[in-house]
Structure formats: C-alpha cells, structure tokens
Structure 1
Amino acid sequence: MPQQDLAFWQSRAAALAIEGRAFIDGSYRDSASGRQFDCISPIDGRRLTAIADCAAADVDAAVAAARRSFEAREWAGLKPRERKKTLLRFAALIRQHAEELALLETLDAGKPIGDTTSVDIPGAAYCVEWYAEAIDKVGGEVVPADPHLVGLVTREPVGVVACVVPWNFPLLMAAWKFAPALAAGNSVVLKPSEKSPLTAIRVAALALEAGVPPGVFNVVPGGGEAGKLLALHMDVDCLAFTGSTAVGKQIMQYAGQSNLKRVWLELGGKSPNIVLPDCPDFDRAARSAAGAIFYNMGEMCTAGSRLLVHRDIKEMFLDKVLEQAAQWKPGHPLDPNTAMGAIVDQIQLDRVLGYIEAGRAESRLLCGGTRTLSDSGGFYIEPTVFDARPEHRIAREEIFGPVLSVIGFDDLDQAIGLANDSEYGLAAAVWTQNLTTAHEVSRRLRAGTVWVNCYDEGGDMNFPFGGYKQSGNGRDKSLHALEKYTELKSTLLRLR
C-alpha cells in the first residue's frame, strides 16, 4: 500500500462507514436490550459510533448459533480443501479491504497508520492464510499396536470456541485465535475488547462473504459482562483469552464453576532485555531497546520494559538509549511519519501516568514522564525512561505504556536472577557475541520466547507464542496452536 500524507488519511477517515452492531448467525443486529456504548477515538476524544453492548441474550444467541452450525457440521463437515479455499478467500478479502481495516484500527486504538497498514492488517491476513494452508497438511497417527488391532490417533474440533481478545492489536490478536480455531473446524464466538471492537465487527461480514457459513463466526462486542458470560457458559467448549493476568485468573475460575471448558491464556509480561559488555553492536542494541518499549506506545505484552545493563557499560549505553528515545515522538496517528500514536483511552492514560508518578517517587527520571498533545483532545504520553532498582514498583508491575526501567547488574548470574525474578515469563532477550553465553543464557531464562542480539523479531507464524508462569498457558501461532482447538481421539479397530 503506497504511503500517503496526513490529509489523505484524514479524508479517507471522514468518508468511512463504521458498523457498530453485533454479528450473530450471519447478520448484523442490535443488542437484545438495545443497550449501546460510545466508541471514542483516542486520537482526539471524538465519538466514532455507538457499539452494541451485548449481554446474556446476545451471548446466548451467538453461542446457540455456533452450536447449531457445529452440530450440523456446516463447517466442520466440509472437506479440508473446501475449508482451506474458504479461509484463503477470507484472507484475500482482508487484504482487499486493508485500507479500510487499517483506518478502523488506527481510529479505534490510536495506533499509527504506518503500523496498521504494514503490520496489523497484513499480519492478520497472513495468519488466516497460514492456517488455511495447514488444513489439508496436518494429519493423524497410526499407532504401533498388537497385530490384531489397527490403532489410530486423530484430532477433532473441540466444538464452540470463544475468543476474548485485547485492544493493543485488535485484529491481529483476534486472528491468532479465530484462524486456527476455524481451520480446525470449530465454530467461533469472538468477543473483542470494548476499547477497540471495530475491526472484529467488520471482518465478520468478510468471513460470511468468503463463504464461512452463518453461525460459524459470530462477534459479540461488549464489556467485561460479555466475557464473563462466555467463560461461564455451559455450551462453550473452549475459551482462548489474551489480556491481563488478573482477568485470566478469573476466567479460569469461571471455567471451573461451569463446565470445565478448556481455557487457554496469553497474559501479562515484564520482559527483561539483558545487555552484556560483549554486545556485538551497541548502537543496534540501543535502537532495539527503545523500539522494544516504545513501539505501539508500549502497549505490548512482550514489551522490553526492564532493560538490564552491566554496570561497566551502563552510562555509555544509557546515553545511546536516551538518544533513541528522543526519536519516538508522539504524533497524529493518521500521519504516516508518526512512530508513536495515542494511548488507547483515558483509563489507560491515567494508569500509565499513575505509574510514572510512582516512578518519580522512588526512581530517577531520565527523560519524558509527561502527557503531551493534550490540546488535541487525545491521549498521548512522552517516551519515558527511569533509572530504577529491581524492587521498585515500576520495575516489577506491568504498566502497558511507554515506560522503561533501566537496572544495573554486576555479573551474568545476577542478570539471570534479576530477569527471572518476576511472576511473568513471556519474553526475554540477551545481547552477547559469545555463542556459548547466548545458548546458556537462553536455556536459563524462564520465558516462552528468547531473542539473542535482537528484540521482537521473527514475526512469521512458525514460532509458537506464549509464556511461562503467570504469563499464561498454551501457545498462539504455529501448528502447536491447532492443538488448543482440537480433542485427541484414540480409535482401535479389531481385525480378527
């Protein structure tokens, strides 16, 4: 997609038709109660549209539609190649409507248009394509058994899958759930965040246009009540969630209180980024350290929010990081030159500013730390860097904003101890030119993803994504994600 200027994107945004209704059983509809809530753009505080506020009747209708379509095998019963063709058409439609979807994502979540056009929307289409291509290539097993038996191990769709997804990558994170769930033959009920529901609502119609049968892909926008209802629903077989650790714990409890539905959680992080004295390229490491925390306004579960630097190089490296931080200036998200957009809403803005105040009280502020562009009516925060200690609150709790804690260490064992001293274990990185050190540190770090001499690279679908400890369970992406949405079945045939 050619890069245009701010005026171009503003004119396209002004002409955009925005849908706010739920999508249930193949059609858009208002909530049964008629309740709505306002969708506010973090760019300027402007009301974009009214969104259907789904509650019990709507969730029940969506789950019933999903159950009916699943039991009728309208999707699950198709030949693998037919499901593959349909999902490939779905991906093609996402690409065809990429400009519209990118605009919706930027207006709704405050993400820079340069990111939504190059990362979010193409990434979602690629995810759907990737799982479509896997459909007719993943088989079962013939198990060694006694000569009078034939033993088969097969995977079957689990049934009705609820996907509850976050606001930081609204469509991409949704695709990481619904694409493998649909590829496996399930019917889906998608609950987008109330902070960013627009792209989920829109792609539901594209799925239908591609040939996904009515009832197989439903979208129920709403707040925490809709998510809780799905987690408690007796007719939901599986729930995949990305969000905070606190809400993830509640969802597991709801599953236990209801039907013991499968629950898969991708939760928070406080990821360490370790820079050793033998780092092969300090300039690149500094650029990566800044990008690791300021990309997407720091609204990243994998954000490199703890920068651990050996004391021998700390002052030198800090100077380089601060130079890079100055490049991440907040600007209008519809300007293609903007690297850092708006915080998603007032609630998150206040949360991040609260953490910054806590940091001021116990750590040393090195740059940033204030709200900016407030005359726009939007929610913007300067890139912020603190010189902190491991026990400081900003160095321990997930902030989900552009706030970096820099912590010094004296030796490698101390660095690994600091890195692992967290309730989270989503991602980590180490910078070293010693191959042995790279492998040994990677093995010792308790994290689902470890980067060596880079950060947040490897964006294709081949790598499983998820965490250790309270960062969750299960994995998104890769063929391993298909396992979450299937049941294993053993079949034994006696021959004589």
Structure 2
Amino acid sequence: MSSLSRFGHVIAGEPVAGQRWMPSYDPYLGEPWAEVAAGTADDVDAAVSAARRAYRDPAWRGLTPTARGALLLRLADLLAEHAEQLAVAETRDNGKLIAEMRAQMRYLPQWFRYFGGLADKVEGAVIPSDKPSMFNYTKPEPLGVVAAITPWNSPLLLTAWKLAPALAAGNTVVVKPSEFTSTSILPFLDLVARAGFPPGVINLVTGTGAEVGAALVEHPDVAAVAFTGGEASGRAVAASCGRKLIPATLELGGKSAQLVFADAILENAVKGVAGGIFAATGQTCVAGSRVLVERRILPEFLDRLSALAKGARMGDPMRDETEVGPVTTRQQLDRILGFIEHAKRDGAEVLIGGSRATRPECGQGWFVEPTIFTGVTPSMRIAQEEVFGPVACVIPFDSEEEAVAIANGTRFGLATGVWTRDLARAHRLAATVESGMVWVNTYRTSSPMSPFGGMKASGLGRENGAEAIRHYLQTKAVWMDFSETYPSPFVMRL
C-alpha cells in the first residue's frame, strides 16, 4: 500500500476507489506527492449512467430554472468561503503561483453567480405565423449528459467555465480532469454536495486521455463535449463527436501575437508583454509568445523587457514573492527545452535564458529560464508552434500592414494584444486581426460575462458570456392548431 494520499473518482455523489493508481507530482519538488485513480471504460460507464439517471430524476429535472440558479448561487458562496483552501490545492498540484491561484479562486465564484443569474433568463420565442389557425413557439431544452474534459494549467477555473453554463442550462456533467492535475477538484466536489446538488449531477472520473477521455467522448449516452486542450487531441474529439453527431466546444490553444507600436506607453507595453508570456510560466492558451515590435523602438523595448524578465523571482510557487514558478509536468519541461534547441538550430538568437533553470531557489523542480529569442523569422517553428512555456520570439515590423500580416500568419487565432495610443489604429486592428479575442493596452484578462474562444485551429464555439449557455441547449419548436376541421391528410400543410 502506498504511503501517498490517494484521490479516487466521485460517481453518483459517492467516492469510488480506483483499481489502479497513477502518481501526481509536485512540480516544485519534482517528486510524487499523491496518487490518483487510473480510471477505466467501466468507470466511465458508471459515471455516465449516474449522470443519465440524475438528468431524468425529478430531483434535478423537476427543478425550475430559478431553483437551479439558486443552487449555483449557493455554490458560489461556498467557493468564496473556501478560496484559500482551493488555491493551495491548485498550487500544490500544478505549480502555478499561489498569488495567482488566490486571485483565480477569489474570482471563481463569479462564474457560478453569473450563470446562476442567467439560468432563468434563457427564453424561447413566439414565432409569427402565416397560418391563421396555428400557434408556433420555441422552447430551449438541455442536451443531457455533458462530458467536460479539462487541462492541467488552470484546472478549477476551466472546469467552472464548462460546469456553470452546463448546469444552468439543466444538464448533468461528467468531468475528466487532466491526469496531471486531478486532485483539486475533490475539495470542489465536496462543496458541490454541501450546496445541495442532487447526487449524480456532477461526476468525476480520473485517468488518462487515451483510456478515460476516449471512452467518455465515445460513450453513446454523452450528448455533448466541452474540451480544452491540445490541437491534436481536440481534432480527435471533434472527429468522434462528428461520428456521433453531437456538439462539441473546443478550445485548443494558440500562437498569439502582441503588437507593440512606437506610440504605445512603453512601460505598460513591456509589462503587458512580460505578463502575457512569462506569467504562469507561459502555460496559458493565450500566451503572447510572438512579440511583434515596431522596428524604431526595438532596442529600447528589448532592453526593458530583458531587464524585467531577468529580474523575475523564481522558486517556490507557495511563496507570495515568487513571480515565475515551475512547469507543471516533466513531459512539458522536456518539450519546452526541445523547442528551444530547435530554435537555436534554426538560427534564432538567444537574448536571455534558453535553458533549464538551475538557480538554487529552483531546487529539483521543473523550471525553465524566461527566454527571449531575437533574429526570428515568421516561418520558423518557434514562431508557428505552441510552446506552452516561458519562451518569447521577437519579430520587428515596419508598418501596420506588415504587423497584421505577421500576426495573421499562423494556423491559430485565439488572441491578439495591441499596444498603441492611436484609437483609430486600435479599431482597425480589432477588425483585421484573425483572432477570437483582441486586447488593447492590456492582456490576459477574462470575465464570465465576455465570450472566450478562438478562430481557425484555436477551436470551435465560445465559453463565457451569455452565448455560452446556448452551447448546452437545444431548441424545440412547438406547433398548435386551433381549427375545428383538418384538411386533406395527403397534402403537406404549407
């Protein structure tokens, strides 16, 4: 028997131990700190069956939208009370800064408040009829069992992005977290139970994507999939959903550009660019890894950005003063270092960083030095592929048109940052860059009220905002005839 803490599944409101276990690593120490159940297709079937029963049970299906909203609001209050506990759980498991996790967990309740309030604001419509004896209306209905598959970089936040609208719409959910960060959702589910959600409305199965994720997406009783993760996995999910003819929401990352113009407030632009790629150790889907700078300010910009990145405090993510923490997994560490070496072979020049961090304060953890490449051309692999680490490639431009062409010159289209004091330019770029989100004179901010998602290979659909709940609903049209006689049954009623 292992001496490590063990975290199992939660099915129909009850903890379920695994038959097999896999280690969960502390990224700062570089060693296992817990074990997580390695689920199977049988576990998935049990969880989906529980969710299907809960979906049909009057204890959930019989709730009014207002009552569902009240449950979400109650959960929001509990999350606010336990924000510190959840923040510590997140940092221990994925290595992100405790300062950022505290901010995320304090803001997390807003998703459940927003969609709790929206639950009884979703309306059907009365359709104007060209048939005098007929009344036609629509009503939105839930889909059924939703599979929520989440990544390792912000486990609870991105779970909330899926759970809150899915539950507000009246669905039930099976959550499959990343096999690398599966522990923080357990205290979250304790709060779900305390809030009063009926058993089986939210279920948890942990395990690998190849075994648990695939079985969940392919399950015949799963009615929709909400997925955040890598592009290759997202394409596989989309293909499976296409075969089953069920909807999928896919957020697949990007290769986002930050465009810095000469008229920008340089200090703000430097901070925004640094935050876009070095905060969270670059492990964000919206990481602004392509830094496009107007050539005439390039030397000063690089001096300032390099100084800020070099001075960033690395080390224990549990310490409030730490600014750059470890990479979440050993596999990702090796992947980032591989990208760095490939960029060097391609001819990119290392301005700072370019290696694994060996500072004493980093211990045996999985750290990468904040890295800036210059001499990068737009076609290089480092400028085209998502690295998901603290690696920025700087590309100069001479005109607005050139900047837009470079920014749009990838298969991704998640986010764009624009740094300028020219209001007309800001609006022009917001219209011409090919990305689902544009931040002007800010970067890496989100809200439950604003849609989040990308274009091109960055995914399908939107999370957050009022339109997100529509991804978890289907429209039913109802026709009523009030005439006293029925016409010929052999002719369509047009």
TM-score range, shorter chain: over 0.9
Answering whether residue 178 of structure 2 is matched by residue 178 of structure 1, we say no
Given residue 482 of structure 1, which amino acid in structure 2 is its aligned partner? I
Q: CA deviation at 1:87?
A: 1.2
Counterpart for residue 270 of structure 2: 286
Give the conservation status (yes or no) of the 8 Å contact 2:253–2:386: yes
- Quick one: which of 54, 57, 60 aligns to 2:42? 57
For residues 328-366 of structure 1, the C-alpha deviation after alignment (integer angstroms, 9 at most, x for no partner) is 232111101111111001100101111111122220100
Q: Which residue number in structure 1 is paired with residue 385 of structure 2?
A: 397
Given candidates 357, 373, 376, the residue that maps to 2:341 is 357
Superposition deviation, residue 201 in structure 1 = 2.5
Aligned equivalent of 1:164? 149
Residue identity matched to 2:437 = T
Other-structure match for 2:220: 234
Shift of 1:19: 5.6
Alpha-carbon distance between aligned partners in 2 of 1:471 and 1:213, rounded to the nearest angstrom:
35
**Which residue in the other structure is 2:464 paired with?**
477
- CA distance, structure 1, for counterparts of residue 311 and residue 169 of structure 2: 43
Query: Does 2:451 correspond to 1:467?
Result: no
* Structure 1 partner of 2:319: 335
**Cα pair 1:19 1:201 within 8 Å, conserved:** no
Q: Shift of residue 294 of structure 1?
A: 0.7
Give the Cα–Cα distance (whole angstroms) in 2 for the partners of residues 77 and 124 of structure 1.
Answer: 27
* One-letter code aligned to 2:14: S
Q: Give 1:348-387 correspondences, 5 Å limit.
A: 348-361=332-345, 362-373=347-358, 376-387=363-374
Q: Matched residue of 1:185: which SS? A: coil
Distance, in Å, in 2 between the alignment partners of 1:428 and 1:139 is: 33
1:73 Cα offset (Å): 3.8
Q: Does 1:433 align with 2:414?
A: no
* Displacement after TM superposition at 1:70 (Å): 0.8
Structure 2 CA distance for partners of 1:409 and 1:83, relative to 1, 3 Å: same
Question: Does 1:21 pair with 2:8?
Answer: yes
- Find the counterpart in structure 1 of residue 172 from structure 2: 187
- Name the SS of the counterpart of 2:320 in structure 1: coil
Aligned partner of residue 218 in structure 1, secondary structure:
strand
The equivalent residue for 1:130 is: 114
- Structure 1 position 392, deviation (Å): 1.4
**2:479 aligned with 1:492:** yes
Structure 1: how far apart are the matches of 2:335 and 2:475?
43
Residue type of the partner of 1:272?
A: A
**Which AA in structure 1 matches 2:473?**
T
After superposition, the C-alpha distances for 1:98-118 in whole angstroms (9 at most, x for unaligned) are: 222111100000011111111
Alpha-carbon separation, structure 2, partners of 1:216 and 1:250: 26
TM-score (norm 2): 0.93
The DSSP-based 3-state class of the residue aligned with 1:462 is coil
Contact 2:6 2:37 in 1 (8 A): no
Distance in 2 (CA, whole Å) between partners of 1:299 and 1:379 is: 13
State yes or no: 1:197 paired with 2:182. Answer: yes
Aligned-partner Cα distance in 2 for 1:352–1:210:
41
C-alpha deviation, 1:493, in angstroms: 2.0
Question: Which residue type is aligned with residue 475 of structure 1?
Answer: R
Structure 1 length-normalised TM: 0.93
Tell me how far apart the structure 2 counterparts of residues 329 and 355 of structure 1 sit (CA, whole Å). Answer: 23
1:172–1:18 distance in 2 versus 1, CA, 3 Å = farther
The whole-number CA distance in structure 1 between the counterparts of 2:102 and 2:5 is 18
Whether contact under 8 Å (2:26, 2:32) holds in the other structure is yes
1:248 maps to which of 234, 237, 240: 234
283-292 or 429-438: which moved more? 429-438
Paired with 1:254 and 1:386, the residues of 2 have a C-alpha distance of 38
Paired AA for residue 109 in structure 2: A
Which residue identity does 1:26 align to in structure 2?
Answer: G
Question: Hey, what does 2:438 align to over in structure 1?
Answer: 450
* Structure 1 Cα separation of the partners of residues 381 and 165 of structure 2: 37
1:289–1:235: structure 2 CA closer, same or farther, 3 Å change rule?
same
Paired residue for 1:13? none
SS for the counterpart of 2:444 is coil
CA distance in 1, matches of 2:335, 2:459: 23
Q: Which amino acid aligns with 1:385?
A: I
Task: State the match for 1:69 in structure 2.
Answer: 54
Shift of 1:367: 0.5
Q: How many residues align?
A: 474
Q: Which residue of 2 aligns with 1:105?
A: 90
Note if contact 1:286-1:321 (Cα within 8 Å) is conserved in structure 2. Answer: yes
Shift in Å at residue 46 of structure 1? 3.1
Q: Secondary structure at the match of 2:59?
A: coil
Contact 1:330 1:381 in 2 (8 A): no
SS of 1:313's equivalent? helix
Computing the radius of gyration from Cα coordinates, the structure with the larger value is 2
Query: C-alpha displacement at 1:374, in angstroms?
Result: 7.0
Instruction: Letter of the 1:300 partner, please give it.
Output: T
Quick one: distance in 2 between partners of 1:334 and 1:428?
A: 31
- Gap change, CA 1:144 and 1:327, over 3 Å in 2: farther
1:129-150 deviation digits (Å, cap 9, x = unpaired): 2111111222222222234332
Distance 2:221 2:122 in 1: 27
How far apart are residue 182 of structure 1 and its match? Answer: 0.6
State the partner residue of 2:403. Answer: 415
**Equivalent position of 2:309 in the other structure:** 325
1:296 and 1:263 map into 2 onto residues whose CA distance is 27
Q: For residue 75 of structure 1, give the secondary structure of its aligned residue in structure 2.
A: helix
Q: CA RMSD in A?
A: 1.5
- Is 2:5–2:35's contact at 8 Å kept on the other side of the alignment? no
Whether the 8 Å contact between 1:374 and 1:380 is mirrored in structure 2 is no
Provide the identity percentage: 41
CA distance in structure 1 between the partners assigned to 2:53 and 2:409 by the alignment: 47
Distance 2:142 2:6 in 1: 31
Q: Deviations over 1:166-192 (max 9, x none)?
A: 011000000000111011100100000
CA drift of 1:373 comes to: 4.4
Deviations 1:58-85 (A, max 9, x none): 0000000011111224323201221112
